[in-house]
Amino acid sequence: MKNILDAPFVREMCETTANMYRLGWDERNGGNISYLLDEKEVDEYLDTGKVLRSIPLMGVNEVDFDASPLEGKIFIVTGTGKYFKNVEKDPETNLGIVRIGKGGKNVELLWGYRGGGRPTSEFPAHMMSHMARLQVDPENRVVMHSHPTHTLAMNYVHELNEKKFTHTLWEMSTECIVVFPEGVGVLPWMLCGTKTIGEATAEKMKKFRLVVWALHGIYGAGKTMDETFGLIETVEKAAQIYMLTAHLPRVNTIKDEDMVKLAELFGIDYRKDFLDL
């Protein structure tokens, strides 16, 4: 059996968490990632019949939380209370590979969380988002939560309206309407780590791959780690440009009719109601 530390999905998690910490998106133990794995690929590195321990889910009442559509699915997930800066040097402590247990009521630990760790407290919210995105796109595999600095700063000075927030981001860089043509979903401030915010995020994920948690951070979803990271990275760059220019007179901007030309050139379906034509 191959060394689990050499597995591409472990390396991806290590590299991505290191990048997110380096960029200042995930201070301390802020942020979390879950990555739906291919069981055949996992079998090359682990005996999936060997369960190390069963772990109850945090932050939800198992009576009214139903993750049964994910039963038997295997994820690699960042650990609760773990710092992204430490993942690369000690993945076995800071990451875990888990299988969703019977009825989606718990998780079975297959590897990791050395020393008694457990999945991020946001994992139930991640599972809700995975279930929502898999209905839209069966190839969706990654859910990523982080606290990008400029995106968060923008929350304090910009109206938290999906159309207006998206439109501003689209105006900041030519690539934005191409990268996230469906726009960005926005939720008001809500208590994190609860079933309520998980359900609200999942509902937004039916329309968006990006959901802003007001005054907190952002959720992104995608087919690959690169795609999901790139979505958040593009929003963060646009938010940075906005924050650098918002207090200055606007001399130039990308016009809505030019955004239409971009969308037509790349053949993408975009939120036409988010433009003012």
Catalytic residues: 122
Buried b (16+ CB within 10 A) or exposed e, 135-154: eeeeebbbbbbbbbebbbeb
Q: What is the largest CA-CA distance in the chain?
A: 63
52: number of Cβ within 10 Å: 15
- Determine contact, residues 229/244, Cβ cutoff 8 Å: no
Task: Write the Ramachandran bin of 115: left for phi over 0, alpha for psi from -120 to 50, otherwise beta.
Answer: left
- Residue at 85: amino acid letter: K
Of the chain, the end-to-end C-alpha distance in Å amounts to: 59
